[in-house]
Amino acid sequence: MTDMTKDSTPSRRRERFPGISTRAWEHPADRSALVALRKLSGFDDVLKKLAGLVSERSVRLMFLATAVRTSERQFPELHAMVRDAAYILDLEKVPDLYVTQDPTVNAMCIGMDAPIIVVTSGLVDLLDEEELRAVIGHEVGHAMSGHAVYRTMLLILTNIATRIAWIPLGTLAITAVITALKEWFRKAELSCDRAGLLAGQDLQASMRGLMKLAGGHNLAEMNVDAFLEQAEEYDKAGDLRDGVLKLLQVLPQTHPFAVVRVAKLKKWADSDDYRSILAGAYPRRTDDPNASVGEQWKAAADSYSKSMKETKDPLMGLIRDVAGGAATVGGKLRDTFTGPRNTNGE
């Protein structure tokens, strides 16, 4: 990682956020877990020992040998973007950024001690300048939040699950934790979509980039507003059977689906929280040690509760009815699987 210098000032006017805490952009479910982990003295050290520092060094050496590290002489525009994102989000040490030859569209942040960012040539070819700026800001957000901890935990637990597959209850317990970690991953991705928006401060570019992940490079054939309408249609999702199918489809994923990410980012960009950050009213990292774990867990619970109330998903609606003791639950189940009864009760 290289030192931050004044010549990293962005080429067009953006707000900069001196001393900003990652709590400013983290999704409540992501933030609550991170605050709790940060309170555990030595937790990162334990994970590093479990994961093995050799593996992190091995990954770094592999990219150094097989990919192109950006600099003033190699991919200078991308190099300027990662420095720009670090400048905007006030990250003192700029992560090294590598471009690897791979037609797959992907970007990742790797490492716990000194994170590096890797983008594929497929991603670079797909996105325009401002879309790339949002993606690189997203990955800088991962580096700042310390999300490599999740990835390390998931890899460790997946390895354990493979080794104890012959123990039924042991596998069940590990699988449950892995499922929870994947939910954590999905919320971390929403967090870093917000970090990418703060880095680029161009909502249309952020949404276009996510839309291109779903539909490819032919932007003239796509429309962000229409894609947001898709997101609303996906949320409504027909009947209970569609709700169940959506749940089964999302559980194995480490990333939310593209339409969900666009809709969630648009909603956050329209919120008072985003406007306050742009105005300079945001949590500072100097206050991170005083962040209350209890308050963060309450915020996470409130976030899930609010999502449950606002969603139009029929399965979530049923769960609301169950939680509220609604008398219509039986009728909804009957109508879903046998069809509505006629007015004569037949």
Q: What is the pLDDT of residue 30?
A: 81
Q: What is the pLDDT of residue 172?
A: 66
Digit-coded pLDDT (tens) for 50-85: 655 556 778 889 999 999 999 999 999 999 999 999
Digit-coded pLDDT (tens) for 5-55: 334 444 568 999 999 999 999 988 788 777 766 666 666 666 666 655 556
Q: What is the pLDDT of residue 147?
A: 84
The candidate with the shortest Cα–Cα distance to 236, out of 266, 262, 259, 265, is: 259
The total of other beta-carbon atoms located within 10 Å of residue 187's CB is: 22
Q: What is the pLDDT of residue 10?
A: 43
Does the global pTM surpass 0.85? no
Q: Which residues are catalytic?
A: 139
3-state class (DSSP) for residue 97: strand
Which residue ranges of the chain lie beneath pLDDT 70?
1-12, 36-55, 149-174, 177, 297, 299-308, 310, 313-346
Q: What is the pLDDT of residue 324?
A: 55
What angle (nearest 5°) sits at the alpha carbon of residue 126, between those of residues 120 and 131? 95
Q: What is the pLDDT of residue 243?
A: 80
Q: What is the pLDDT of residue 7?
A: 40
Q: What is the pLDDT of residue 65?
A: 97
